[in-house]
Amino acid sequence: MSKELFFNNFNTFISQYKKVVIVSHVNPDGDAVGSTLAFYFFLLKFGIDVKVLIPNDYPSFLAWMPGISEILLYDKNPEKGAEYLNDADLICFLDFNSPSRTGLIHNDLCHCTKTPKILIDHHRDADLSQFVGYVSEIETSSTSELVAELIKYQGFDKYLDDNIATCLLVGIMTDTGSFTHSIFHPETFGICGELISTNVNYTLIHNKIYNTFSENRLRLLGFCISNRMTILNEYNTAYIYLSKKDLESFDYQVGDTEGVVNYPLMIDNVRMSVLITERQGMIRFSFRSKGDFSVHELSRKHFGGGGHTNAAGGTMNCTLDQAVDKFLEILPQYKTMLVK
Ligand SMILES: [Mn+2]
């Protein structure tokens, strides 16, 4: 069932199910949490027993969100997570499309081959054959915007409330960098206008997302830019690397490096920015770009990742030095695309 059909038949479709589990991706961001919680509140209105299952913890700047305590973090309670999935008669994939993006949940998900699944997502390369219904649009700001569209289609007057509006605004706001990128059509603003027409306090939501740094987090940002940022002018590229030790010295908390990768793009000629971080025995890459340079393609080819044209992630199993070397090694092949 494609988007049109899915929107049209949603009411009949969803009424077939009694126990629904909503799953999102590992290292959940504002859109992952916002879209799943909005969808959770929406499905509750159909009298459905809804569960939200996320592989691991969300960043602390989302801890205030309505419904957040309803989320089961799989890594904290895998038995209960497996139970949710076993009991479900419908599984919803939100803000990701490949089961491998669910981290530790992946294994249990593989046992649910018989359970029908739906997808609401804006990432590329979705294998739609595994879903009984899907909304898969890469030219949309966020999964939250797609959930907003779905709910709007069913009638905002009937279903929209302050909780749903808050969660959706968080998702759209964070995936667009506070409305600075990934806006492909005017409807993004249109739908946000409608979300703000509820009783939500937009400024308060914005402050809760962006202006609640700990002192350590802000000092870590300063350290990244002063001590760990290298500008490669010949490639219009900047990279920042952070060792486990660096993170520890700033008492790193989940989410503290969120957004760091965007800062080098503030430099006029920088077209690509990369944050390379050492995490529990693993290296994480975060890529951002300005304009048409696709970090999705670069990450997919060399770092086993992907995402969007201007924002992508990737990983490597090696030391931090090896990861930086690898990045520097592949960079020359992109020179003509980066320097125009
Ligand atoms: Mn998203």
Mean pLDDT confidence for 96-100: 93
* Nearest Cα to Cα of residue 194 among 254, 252, 153, 224: 153
In angstroms, what is the span from residue 96 Cα to ligand 1's centroid?
Answer: 8
In angstroms, what is the span from residue 319 Cα to ligand 1's centroid?
Answer: 29
Whole-angstrom distance, CA of residue 260 vs CA of residue 252: 13
| Amino acid 281: pLDDT | 81
Element (H, E) at 313: strand 311-316
Whole-angstrom distance, CA of residue 103 vs CA of residue 239: 26
CA angle 124, 127, 133 (to 5 degrees): 105
CATH topology of domain 215-338: Diaminopimelate Epimerase; Chain A, domain 1 (3.10.310)
Which residues on neighbouring strands pair with residue 93, listed in sequence order? 23, 119
Are the C-beta atoms of residues 229 and 264 closer than 8 Å to each other? yes
pLDDT, tens digit, 9 for 90 and up, residues 280-298: 889 999 999 999 999 999 9
Question: Does pTM top 0.75 for this prediction?
Answer: yes
In angstroms, what is the span from residue 121 Cα to ligand 1's centroid?
Answer: 7
CATH homologous superfamily, domain 3-209: inorganic pyrophosphatase (n-terminal core) (3.90.1640.10)
* Nearest Cα to Cα of residue 91 among 111, 118, 51: 118
The ranges assigned to domains in the chain are 3-209, 215-338
Sheet strands (E) in 60-201: 71-73, 90-94, 117-121, 133-136
Q: What percent of the chain has pLDDT over 90?
A: 93
| Amino acid 1: pLDDT | 81
CA angle 190, 91, 171 (to 5 degrees): 30
In angstroms, what is the span from residue 67 Cα to ligand 1's centroid?
Answer: 19
Q: In which residue are the tokens 């920042």 written?
A: 240
Mean pLDDT confidence for 77-82: 98
In angstroms, what is the span from residue 159 Cα to ligand 1's centroid?
Answer: 22
